[in-house]
Amino acid sequence: MSAATQYTTAELAADGLVREKMPRHVAVIMDGNGRWAQSRGLPRVEGHRRGVTSVRETVEECAKLGLEQLTLYCLSSENWKRPQRELDFLMSLLEQYVIEERSEIMRQDLVFSMIGRREGLSQGVLNEVEKTLACSRDNRGMRLCLAVNYGSRAEIVDAVQAIAREVAAGRMAPADIQEDQISAHLYTAGMPDPDLLIRTAGEMRVSNFLLWQISYAELWVTQKCWPEFRRPDLLDALRDFGSRDRRFGGLKG
250 burial via Cβ count (<10 Å: 0-12, 13-18, 19+): exposed
The verdict on residue 6 lying in a domain is no
Which pLDDT value is given to residue 81?
82
Contacts of 176 (CB under 8 A, 6+ apart): none
In a domain, 47, yes or no: yes
Measured CA distances, 71 to 9, 62, 98, 150 (Å) = 24, 11, 15, 12
Q: Inter-axis angle of helices 44-64 and 231-243, to 10 degrees? A: 60
User: Residue 64: inside a domain, yes or no?
Assistant: yes
- Tell me the residue type at 54: S
Amino acid of residue 219: L
Which residue of the set 15, 79, 158, 208 is catalytic?
Answer: 79
| CA–CA distance, 250 with 127 (Å, rounded to integer) | 46
pTM: 0.94
User: At residue 131, what is the residue type?
Assistant: K
Active site residue 139: no
**How far apart are the C-alpha atoms of 186 and 179, rounded to whole Å?**
11
113: number of Cβ within 10 Å: 21
Q: Are 135 and 102 in contact (CB under 8 A)?
A: yes
> Could you give the number of structural domains in the chain?
1
Q: Has residue 1 been placed in a domain?
A: no
Residue among 122, 145, 121, 120 at smallest CA distance from 132 = 145
Residue 80: what pLDDT?
83
CATH number for the domain spanning 73: value is 3.40.1180.10
Report the alpha-carbon distance of residue 143 to residue 133 in Å, rounded: 11
Mean pLDDT by 10 residues, the chain (253 residues): 78 97 98 95 93 96 98 90 87 94 96 95 94 97 97 97 97 95 97 98 97 98 98 98 82 59
**In-domain check, residue 49:** yes
Domain that includes residue 199, residue range: 19-239
31 is catalytic: yes
Q: Is residue 246 part of a domain?
A: no
Cβ atoms of residues 209 and 152 within 8 Å: yes
* Nearest Cα to Cα of residue 212 among 194, 239, 190: 194
* 232 assigned to some structural domain: yes
**CA-based R_g, the chain, Å:** 19
Name, in order, each residue with C-beta under 8 angstroms of 174's C-beta and a sequence gap of 6 or more.
Answer: 167
Domain membership of residue 3 (yes or no) is: no
